Each structure stands twice: as structure tokens, then as C-alpha cells.
Amino acid sequence: MAKREVEEINAGSMADIAFLLLIFFLITTTMNLPQVHEERLPQKSDVEFLLNEKNVLQIMANKNDKIGIEGEFAEIEDIQNAVKKFYQHKEGTPNQPQYIEVSRKICEDTLESLENALNVYPDAPLFKIEQDAWTRRLDACVAFGSGFQTLPNNATVSIQLDNATKYVTYMSVLDQIMQGLNSLRDSLCKDKFGVSFERLNDKVESDKQKISAIRQVYPKKIMKEKNRSVQ
Amino acid sequence: MSKFSKGKKRKDPAISTAALPDIVFMLLFFFMVTTVFKEKESKKLEIDKVAIKETIDLEKNIKASYFWIGRVPGKVDDFRVQLDDDLINDYSEIREYLIKLRKNPEYSQVWDSRFFNVFKVDKKTEMRIVRKVHDELKEAEAFKVVYSVNREK
């Protein structure tokens, strides 16, 4: 009697298994994106800005990479606290900037008067910038459900470097500033939205609004001063 | 008498290879997805990158020009700038290069949104060099700069 023929294995489901594996790896694999610090260079301009001493937090690094804050020698780790104090201090502290109040009503009133001004001077770039800024502030008020205080427009952290300052010092100063700023943002975020700032994802629309709102309260404002020899 | 001999050795049926393409495609896709292209590196300069704590991800799908600032291998304090593929001899070459780049519609369309100048700078570089490059960027109206760093844990 002849042997029974071996039946062919059905390979139809192989594709399913393959796709299952493919999808599994697709989901679980994460790519490591290059890590960077972003900076926007200022427009080339010869206009000198007059800044109120109070509204500037001055950070210096000399040719030996020694750090100075507001004219006094300091350690690099001190920058973080100086930045925090600059952005968040008790109203009326001497040598610190005065806050401006932002509330829904103030935003709406300002936007209305800007609207009127723009009707008269439709091409005034300054008004348009102001309009953008106040629109974002209004959005922030809506997101928080209340008004807030923030630094005036001309308040800024200023970095002065010597030509011979090392790049690593510059990066560390920027890092310290961002660490100070992000810890303030983080505590505000936990307070208002109950999540940490890092967890917010700017790809999600509702998170994006929150990020933008928090940035209105603690904006990143860094100014680099022109070449100058720092003692 | 028959043409076919019966009852002798019988061959097993061939294994179906229909699923083979699936497997191959799966592998292909897998490697396509997981491959991270090694960050561009300079062959001409030695660069010891800075590590900082607060970093952000570099955006995807960007147009970029790469600046390397580092030491010429084998020499002590000879810092040079490399822009994309070539070493720069005179800083004004940067301006010319970028202005030429911007004439290309592929770049001009995204110039203010998705065009970045990626800096990879050695720790010990003096700021005067970085500044000179920045000045050239301003001349060419390329304002977006990112500094590539390592993330410190």
C-alpha cells in the first residue's frame, strides 16, 4: 500500500504573523533624535537699546571663564537661582523688575485699542508684534482661567562674554538659565494643570496651548551683548 | 507497463515559499525604521562636544547647513571652521555659501521656518570664532541656530 502523501503546510497565515511582528517593532522602536539647544540670532541692527538697569539680569563671563552676576563674582551654579529670583520675586523688591498685570479684561482692552491703531496705521510693524503678543496673553488667560503677572517686555537676561571665553562656558551659562526657567515653568505647570512641564507634548493640541500659556508667564528672554572685553 | 514507477521513493512536497517575501519585507521595514543615521561627523576636525542638562529634540524633516568648529588633528591650538563639506579659509565664504544656498527654491521656501544652522563646536573654542560665524549668518539672514550637544543625565 502506498504511503499517505504529506499534506502541504498552509502558509497563508505567515503574512499575518509577519505583519504582527512588523507592527510590534514599529511601535516599540524609538528613534533617538539629536539633542540641541536652540537660539535665534538677532537682526543686524545698529540701534542701541536703552534698558532700565532693574529690568536686566546681567551675567558675565570673562576670558578666564569666571562668572559674574550683576557685577559680582559668582559660581556658575548661582545663575540658576539668580534667574529664578529675576523671574519670580516679591512685588517691589529693590533692583528687580516690576511685574505687569495681565488679565482677560486688560488683554481685551489692549487688543481693542491696538485694533483701532492698526486701522489708522495699517502697516505699523510694532503694532502687529504687540497684537500678536497680547493675543497670546489672552489665550494664556483663557487657559489658566485667571490673570497672571509677568515681566515687562523689555526685561531680559543679558549675557556678556569676552572674546576669549570658551564655548563650554557659554553653553553652561545657557544651560543654567534654562534650568532655572524650566524649574519655574514646571512648578507653575504642576500648580495650574497638575502635570509636570516636561510631560506636555507639543504635538497634542491641548498640551500645546498649555505650553504656550506657561511660556507667556515665564518667557525665555536672553540677550547677547556685543563683543566687549570683560574684566 | 506504465511511465511512472509507483511505490518507490516518494519525494516530500516542496515547502511553500509564498511567505518568503513577507519575511523579507518585514526585515526590510524593520531595518528601515530602526536605522538611525549616524549623526554627520566631520572628518577634518576633532570635536569634543559639550554636555548640558536642558536640551530639546532637533526637529525632524529639516533643511540644514552644518557648521563644525574644532581642532585640526595633530595640531595644538589650530581651531578651524568647516561648513558642510569644506574648511573655511575666510569667514566671508560663509555668507556667500548661504546666499547661494538660498537661491535654491528647495531652501528658500523653508528659510524662515525649517532651515537651521546646526553647530557642532568643540568645548575649548573661543567665542570670538563663534561670533564671527554668527555675524556672517546675520549678513545672510539665516537666524536660526541650534547647538548640537550631548545630554547630561
Q: Which residue of A lies nearest to B134 if distances are taken between CA atoms?
A: A41
Give the residue from A147, A132, A161 showing the smallest Cα distance to A217. Answer: A147
B131 interaction partners in chain A (CB closer than 8 Å): 163, 227
Q: Which amino acid is at A226?
A: K
CA distance B134 to B149: 18
Top residue of B39, B54, B115 to mutate, by most chain A CBs within 10 Å, is B54
Q: What pTM, to 2 d.p., does this model score?
A: 0.76
Q: Is residue A109 part of a domain?
A: no
CA A113/CA A159 separation, integer angstroms: 35
Can you tell me whether residue A162 is helix, strand or coil?
Answer: coil
What φ, ψ does residue B11 adopt, rounded to 5°? Answer: -80, 145
Ranges under pLDDT 70 in chain A: 1-3, 11-12, 26, 28-31, 45-51, 226-231
Q: In tens digits, what is the pLDDT along chain B, a chain of 153 residues?
A: 556 655 556 677 777 777 777 777 777 777 777 766 556 676 778 888 888 888 888 887 788 888 888 888 887 778 888 888 888 888 888 888 888 888 888 888 888 888 888 888 888 888 888 888 888 888 888 888 899 888 887
Residue A98: inside a domain, yes or no?
A: no
CB of A50 less than 8 A from some CB of B = no
A175: which chain B residues are within 8 Å (Cβ-Cβ)?
Answer: 52-54
Please report the ipTM that was assigned to this predicted complex: 0.73
Chain A residues whose CB is inside 8 A of the B10 CB are 2-3, 5
Q: Kindly state whether A46 is in contact with chain B, defined as any CB-CB distance less than 8 angstroms.
A: no
- Does 1.10.357 match the CATH number of domain B51-151? no
A25 to B33: CB separation less than 8 angstroms, yes or no = yes
Chain-centre distance of CA A89, in angstroms? 19
Give the DSSP per-residue string, A61-109: E-TT--EEETTEEE-TTHHHHHHHHHHS--TT-TTSPPPEEE-HHHHHH
Say if A133 falls within a structural domain.
Answer: no
Domain of A57? 51-92+157-205+217-231
Pairwise CB contact (< 8 Å): B53 & A3 = no
Locate the domains of chain B by residue range. 51-151
With CA atoms as reference, the chain A residue closest to B124 would be A166
Side chain identity, residue A31: M
Q: Are A35 and B149 in contact (CB under 8 A)?
A: yes
Domain count of chain A? 1
Which residues in chain A are contacts of B148 at CB distance < 8 A? 34-36
Sequence-separated (6 or more) residues with CB below 8 Å from residue A25: B30, B33, B34
| Nearest-10 Cα torsion for A85, A229, A62, A94 | -20
Residue from B52, B60, B61, B120 whose CB has the most chain A CBs within 10 Å, to mutate: B52
pLDDT on residue B39: 63
Contact B33 A33 (CB under 8 A): no
Q: State the smallest CA–CA distance between residue A45 and chain B in angstroms.
A: 10
pLDDT of res. A217: 86
